[in-house]
Amino acid sequence: MGDGSWSVTFENVEVVRRGDLVLMCRVGQKIVGVPPRRMLSGTTILTVDRGRLILSRETALNLGLISRALHVGLVPAAQHVRAHVGENDLAAVEPVTIC
């Protein structure tokens, strides 16, 4: 799986609060606690307040950031993103890149 199909990239993620064990992050309309040890290489929010968050698909699923249908590859990524990002939210949320 060297093609990155096991990871999910979220852009324009805002760090709301930093703790020793968890970063509270706004991903789209959700605020989730993300353990830094679960963030993959290429994540930029470890050092800045807004940026990229890269997680394994399993971690993104456990945090409620993707659905099980996307996790197992049953739903195309663009369809999944449209289901979670309403038309009125597009100005506030950057596109999500699914690797």
pLDDT at 80 over 50: no
Is the whole-model pTM more than 0.75?
no
Separation between Cα atoms, residue 96 and residue 31, nearest integer Å: 16
CB 3 within 8 A of CB 64: no
Question: Model confidence over 11-66: pLDDT tens digits?
Answer: 999 999 999 899 999 999 999 999 999 999 999 999 999 999 999 999 999 999 99
pLDDT attached to residue 73: 52
Cα distance between the two ends of the chain:
11
Per domain, the residue ranges of the chain are 7-94
